[in-house]
């Protein structure tokens, strides 16, 4: 079975064949770096990291580009509020972003271009659009005329008539149409000097949408394989990218468009604008990073993801079941045989639009086999399949014992006291020690090899 991916553009599952044999070129919209990343950013990061890992596990070389938006209104406003330079703020936030993403096991991209390093490429696209009559000047601004681009809105499925019917604002000054969007913004007198660049239109800075067109085409070519991002970017950002890139170059921007679903809290999308978000840093104060990754990865990337402590607790307990199997049977080093029944099922799930829910179910079935058969090869297969999702690569004991208050040496001393009590047939004392440890969040596991312990779920 070949890989099939749901293409937002065609609204259908399609067989995936890269443009260049053996090489996948993939662009994912990244962060606007003015604050710490929240769980919605974590979802996009993990979802496309899993997709990239599976593409690589399938034998393709992947050139993965995730951009950094380091200039926009929010960034300028925050820098001014903080009394720091735009570059100082964004560099600091890029470091914080990678601190969070590294913790989640999100692999670094092949390229992580900053928008401000691609100003000449953006201005070149603006020039091409103006030459073709798709853009017009308005004072120091340059706007894109959406009605001059046939098929505008084809990604989101929105028509211009529908968009105008829902329009609630008057035409902005300098715009011919309320749906027109800015390609180049004239500098304002109140904006700092490091937030503006020289251009044929006067000093200013790029609009948000033009940066991705410039960076994607510069690093991956005018047409590449996969363009990804959150579902909230479908309109207007990605529709505008298509209008810019295809308007300038006359060829499709991407073969496949992938969009991950929202993270919801109380059935409402998590976002900074709604002030209902949790930063990754907030969550990692209470939960380990692999639990958060597992919580995200086990849901299908296109489905809504409901965030709550209860769901994270369930994720932690579920992940402990997998690590318990690996602690019970030390895994052998194995090369995945995709003809092995569990591996075959896992591959079939992932090949159907990166179907992680079914793939994770295979991991639990395999863990059950490990518990029954004590097979080091099956334990090795469990760990190897987990690696394709960025999971199960830690030391089982470290994961299972994480989060306890007592020192490990004190726990081992109590286990020894319990063993002595059992040996002297003082079973009430042995049970008291077990219950005391349980009250401290420590669960004992007796086996013919002795007693081990884990943090209670």
pLDDT tens-digit map of 66-79: 999 999 999 999 99
Cis, bond preceding 315 (omega within 30 deg of 0): no
- pLDDT beyond 90 at 456: no
Q: What is the model's pLDDT at position 164?
A: 74
Contacts of 328 (CB under 8 A, 6+ apart): 370, 371, 374
CATH of 313-398, picked from 2.60.40.10, 3.40.50.300, 1.20.120.640, 3.30.450.20, is 1.20.120.640
End-to-end CA distance of the chain: 38
Taking only the tens place, the pLDDT of each residue in 225-257 is: 999 999 999 999 999 999 999 999 999 999 999
Q: Work out the mean pLDDT of the chain and round it to a whole number.
A: 92
Query: In this structure, what token pair is assigned to residue 135?
Result: 């853009």
Q: What is the model's pLDDT at position 272?
A: 65
Q: What is the model's pLDDT at position 407?
A: 58
CATH superfamily, domain at 4-269: HUPs (3.40.50.620)
Taking only the tens place, the pLDDT of each residue in 376-401 is: 999 999 999 999 999 999 999 999 88
Residue 427: exposure state from Cβ atoms within 10 A (0-12, 13-18, ≥19) = exposed
- pLDDT beyond 90 at 443: no
Query: In this structure, what token pair is assigned to residue 92?
Result: 């600091």
- pLDDT beyond 70 at 455: no
Q: If pLDDT is split at 50, 70 and 90, which confidence band does 170 have?
A: very low
- pLDDT beyond 60 at 167: no
- Report the C-alpha gap between 283 and 165 in whole angstroms: 41
- Report the C-alpha gap between 259 and 230 in whole angstroms: 5
- Report the C-alpha gap between 89 and 80 in whole angstroms: 10
User: 36's torsion region: left (phi>0), alpha (psi -120 to 50) or beta?
Assistant: beta
- pLDDT beyond 80 at 91: yes
The CA-based dihedral angle spanning residues 102, 108, 113, 116, taken in that order and rounded to the nearest 10 degrees = 10
- pLDDT beyond 50 at 318: yes
For residues 268-293, give the mean pLDDT: 85
Q: If pLDDT is split at 50, 70 and 90, which confidence band does 169 have?
A: very low
pLDDT above 90 covers a percentage of the chain that reads 80
- pLDDT beyond 60 at 454: yes
Which residues pair with residue 205 across a beta bridge?
185
Q: What is the model's pLDDT at position 168?
A: 46
For residues 276-294, give the mean pLDDT: 93
- pLDDT beyond 90 at 276: no
Q: What is the model's pLDDT at position 163?
A: 83
Taking only the tens place, the pLDDT of each residue in 122-140 is: 999 999 999 999 999 998 9
- pLDDT beyond 80 at 148: yes
Query: CA–CA distance from 204 to each of 59, 70, 138, 139, 258 (Å)?
Result: 44, 15, 13, 11, 32
Q: What is the model's pLDDT at position 1?
A: 65
- Report the C-alpha gap between 211 and 230 in whole angstroms: 17
């Amino acid at each position: 079975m070949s890989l099939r991916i749901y293409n937002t553009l065609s609204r259908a599952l399609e067989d995936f064949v890269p443009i260049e044999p053996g090489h996948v070129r993939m662009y994912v919209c990244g962060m606007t770096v003015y604050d710490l990343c929240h769980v919605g950013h974590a979802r996009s990061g993990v979802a496309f990291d899993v997709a990239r890992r599976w593409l690589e596990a399938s034998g393709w070389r992947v050139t993965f580009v995730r951009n950094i938006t380091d200039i926009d209104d929010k960034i300028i406003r925050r820098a001014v509020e903080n009394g720091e330079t735009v570059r100082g703020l964004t560099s600091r936030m890029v470091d914080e972003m990678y601190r969070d993403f590294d913790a989640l096991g999100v692999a670094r991209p092949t390229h992580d271009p900053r928008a401000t390093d691609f100003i000449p490429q953006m201005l070149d696209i603006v020039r091409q659009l103006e030459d073709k009559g798709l853009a017009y000047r308005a004072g120091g601004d340059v706007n894109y005329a959406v009605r001059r681009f046939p098929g505008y809105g084809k990604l989101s499925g929105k028509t211009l008539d529908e968009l105008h019917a829902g329009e609630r604002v008057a035409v902005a000054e300098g715009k011919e149409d309320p749906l027109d969007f800015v390609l180049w913004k004239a500098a304002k007198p109140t904006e700092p000097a490091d937030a503006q660049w020289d251009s044929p239109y006067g000093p200013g800075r790029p609009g948000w949408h033009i940066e991705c067109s410039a960076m994607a085409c510069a690093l991956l070519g005018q047409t590449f394989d996969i363009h990804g991002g959150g579902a909230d970017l479908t309109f207007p950002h990605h529709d505008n990218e298509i209008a810019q890139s295809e308007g300038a170059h006359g060829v499709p921007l991407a073969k496949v468009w992938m969009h991950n679903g929202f993270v919801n809290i109380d059935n409402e999308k998590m976002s900074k604008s709604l002030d209902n978000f949790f930063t990754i840093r907030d969550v990692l104060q209470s939960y380990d990073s692999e639990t958060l990754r597992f919580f995200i990865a086990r849901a299908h990337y296109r489905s809504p993801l409901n965030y709550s402590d209860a769901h994270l607790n369930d994720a932690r307990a579920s992940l402990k079941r997998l690590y318990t199997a690996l602690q019970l049977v030390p895994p052998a080093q194995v090369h995945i045989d995709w003809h092995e029944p569990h591996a075959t099922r896992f591959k079939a799930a992932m090949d159907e639009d990166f179907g992680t829910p079914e793939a994770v179910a295979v991991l639990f079935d395999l863990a059950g086999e490990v518990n029954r058969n004590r097979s080091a090869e099956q334990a090795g297969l469990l760990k190897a399949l987990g690696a394709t999702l960025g999971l199960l690569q830690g030391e089982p004991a470290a994961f299972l014992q994480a989060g306890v208050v007592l020192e490990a040496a004190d726990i081992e001393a109590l286990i020894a006291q319990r063993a002595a009590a059992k040996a002297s047939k003082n079973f009430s004392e042995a049970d008291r020690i077990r219950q005391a440890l349980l009250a401290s969040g420590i669960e004992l596991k007796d086996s013919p090899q002795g007693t081990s312990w884990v943090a209670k779920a």
